[in-house]
Structures are given as structure tokens and as C-alpha cells.
Amino acid sequence: MSDPIRVRFAPSPTGYLHVGGARTALFNWLIARKLGGVFVLRIEDTDRERSTDASTRTILEGMTWLGLHWDEGPVRQADGLPRHQADARRMLGEGTAYRCFCTQEELAAKREQLQHEYRYDQKCRAIPAGESDARAAAGEPHTLRFRVPEGVTQWDDIVHGETRFENASLEDFIILRTDGTPIYNMAVVSDDIDMRITHVIRGDDHIPNTPKQILLYQALGAPVPAFGHLPMILGGDGRKLSKRHGATAVGDYAQLGVLPEALFNFLALLGWNPGDEREVMDVEELVQTFSLERINKKSAVFDTEKLFWMNGRYLEKKPAEELLSLVAPLLVAQGLITEAEVETRRGWLLHLLELLKTRARSVKDIPAQARIYLGDEVEYDADSVAKQWKDPLTAERLGAARAALEALEPWTVEAIEPALRAAAEGVGVGFGKVAQPLRVALTGSSASPGIDHVVFLLGREGALRRIDRARERLAAGTAA
Ligand code: GLU
């Protein structure tokens, strides 16, 4: 059996978990799950100024919320410092790197003079080893630079195909700063070798780093992993997704009432597709279907409308029991029910959620929809009233419904509709002529779940009280 594949997600803890980063993590996770590989989490915290523990926590929380569990880590890149340095020094020993004694001022002056044309002029390449050692031993400050060989560096990108860079376009880049700290590419390659990463899947903003990294692998005598660069994520206007487009943090979407399983599914389709019409695919199905070959080259558009549509589909599928644990705190916070009622009215609440979940696009929609059932006030929608109560016989029809509900035994959901049908027949009209005005009387609107469930959830008392109020309005002529 061949060695298992090893992939990694390597966020820099300098902010929140961006949906783009989450998409990168998710693709890596899917590959690992699909191919029985290992998913490693590495926190790239070498930028001491900008890295924070709070950011690391937010990233880990976001991944956990999405269900992106890592098999190894989190490894802190900063802990690898001695190894990064040892790898760079080994390259110095082997001649693939050299000491550069040019001062900051000297380099800045050259940069100033050549502006865009500037590239390190390799001045220190020619310093003989003996002289270089002596100057270093004498304490002269220096950096280590990589000796870029002649030729071409190329790789077969999993997403973009054959990709090549002329080595002449790369300068002899620094690998160790004057203070002995590694630059980014050095740390990344040293870590990826140490972690035996077989596939580097990351955003395509990293493409310019890849030729440098490949050269470092070769210099260190390590096998070069496969690389795949994921397409950029754009906002609806075709520009790179940013805060200007709205929420970009995974945590923001949690706050907006998006379910993790919906965001997971949505992110999986950002730059990948199953090759057929399927869109709503749960984690299992995504693991089964995911393939590196189907990752698109083209940028993906973050369509918020689609995300909320998908969230609606997941809300519909979610068992009411699970939904209640998300919705109950919101209902309590909005003063719609008490903590105690969450337990005492559990069965009733579950029934209500069964009904509402088919119409919600966000967990946050549900309290507003639940208000009608939990409070006693009805807000009448003027259009619904004008349309459904315009017939002069409305009061009579509501009266027939009232009588039927008052007399109904046993009080069950199943018994309600036949009783209302019989009432409609009794006043010589079709069911709709009673059900629609009744719907408005009970909920204020002509759009609501099935009338039998609405009546049942309001309870006999509640339903009769609302019918009475509607009839009073009709009698007073204040209805329309
Ligand atoms: N730390 C880098 C970032 O957050 C990722 C580096 C990599 O994946 O190689 O963009």
C-alpha cells in the first residue's frame, strides 16, 4: 500500500476565519477524508506583530463549528524556528545559499534607483567561502540568500495544469533575516517537509511563492509535493470578495443564523462541482463525490442569496429537536417564552418548529414567525385583509368556523380540517372561502402553514378569541 496522503491547512492567525480560508480548509479536509489521508492544522504565527491568540481561537472555533476536524496539530509554526534555521544553514553549508552582507541602506539605495526594475544584483554571490566565514565570525551582520539556479521551475498544478516560471525572473531571495529569523517561504517549506505533506492545496494568491518553494525543496533534497491552487472567490460584482460585499467571516454567518452544514455544502461548491445537477449534498455525499480533478480554474462567485436558499433546505431537513436547541435561546432572549416554558411546552414548541422550518431561510427568521403563535396580538396585513375579508359574508363564514371549532371533539390536528370543511359546506361555500378568511383572522396574513396546524397550535381558546376579534373588526367596519 502506498503512503497515505497528507494535506494541511495553514492559516495565519492575523484575523478571523475568512470564508475563503474556510473553503481552503474544507477542500483539504474533503481530500483527506475521501482518500483516507491525514489533515494537519498548522498555525503560521511567525509574524509576531500581527499574530494573536484571539485570532487562533477564532480560527479553531470556526473550523470546529464547520466540522473540519484536524487529525494532527494545531502545530505552531513559531515552534519550528530551530529547524527552519538549521535547514537554512544546511543550505549555506551545501552552497545552495550564501551570506549577503549588503546593508539595508545599500539595498534601499539600489531599490530607489531602479524602482520596478530592481532585483537583487547578486553582489555577495561571488564572495569566497573563506572570506564569508571570516566576516561572519567577526560578527558582521548578514542575511542568508538562496542561490537561484539557472533554468526553469515548473509543476503540474492540480487545478491550473502545467505552470512554469523562468528562474531568471526570481531574484536570489532571502531565506534567513539578519536577526536569524526565517522568511515565510523558508518556514513553510521546512514545515511541509517535516510534516511530510504530499499535497499543498491553497489559494491561488500563493502561485508566485510556489516556484521559490519548489527550489527550496530541491535544494533540501526533499520530494516536491503536488500543488493545487484554488481559484479566487469573488463578490456578486465580480470583484475580489471583501467586507464591502457583506459578511466574510465564518463567525458572521453563524451569527446570521446559517447552519454549519449549509455553509459547509455551500463552500464545497465554491470552485468545485459534482459534474451533475446536484447542489444540496450533505457531508457524506460530498466526501464520496469530491475529486481534485473537478476543481475549477475559474473564480467562484459568493452568491449570498444562494447560501440562504441552501440554508432553507437544511433548516427544512433539520430535526425539530435539534432546531429547538438553536431557536429556544432566541425565543427566550426576545421575551417570547421563559426558560421554564422551553421544557414545559416542549412538545408544542417542537410541533411549531416542524411547521416553521419549511419556510425559514435562517434560524434568525424563526422567532419572528413564531411570535404569532406565542403572543396574543395579531398584526393584520392590509393586503390580506382587503383580499380575504372583502366578501360581505365573511363574518358569517368565520362564525361557522367558530361554531365548528368550539364543538370539536376530540381536539386533534386530524379532526380540524374535516370540521372546517363541514362548516364550509353548511354555509354553502367551498373550503377555501372559509379557510382563507380564517387564516387571516388567526395569523393576520394569507400566507401561513396549513390551517389545521395553525388552529391546533393556537389551541381552542386562542383560535376562538382571534375569530371573535376578527368578527368585531368586521362588525365595526375597521377591517379593511
Ligand atoms: N499562511 C498562509 C495564508 O494564510 C498559507 C500558506 C500556505 O498554505 O502555504 O495565506
Nearest CA to ligand 1 atom 7: 10
pTM: 0.91
CATH 1.10.8 placement within the chain: 318-374
Mutate to test the pocket of ligand 1, among 12, 207, 232 (most ligand atoms within 8 A of CB): 12
From 280, 283, 370, 376, select the one nearest 323 (Cα to Cα): 370
The fold of 82-229 is Rossmann fold (3.40.50)
CATH 1.10.10.350 placement within the chain: 382-475
- Which pLDDT does position 1 carry in this prediction? 56
Nearest CA to ligand 1 atom 4: 11
Mutate to test the pocket of ligand 1, among 63, 188, 191, 229 (most ligand atoms within 8 A of CB): 188
Q: CB of 10 closer than 6 A to ligand 1?
A: yes
Nearest CA to ligand 1 atom 10: 11
Q: Name residues of the chain where pLDDT drops below 70.
A: 1-2, 478-480
Q: CB of 11 closer than 6 A to ligand 1?
A: yes
Q: CB of 470 closer than 6 A to ligand 1?
A: no
**Per CATH, is 318-374 categorized as 1.10.3470?**
no
- CATH code of the region 382-475: 1.10.10.350
- Which pLDDT does position 479 carry in this prediction? 53
Residues 6+ apart with CB under 8 A from 236: 245, 301, 302, 303, 304
CATH 3.40.50.620 placement within the chain: 82-229
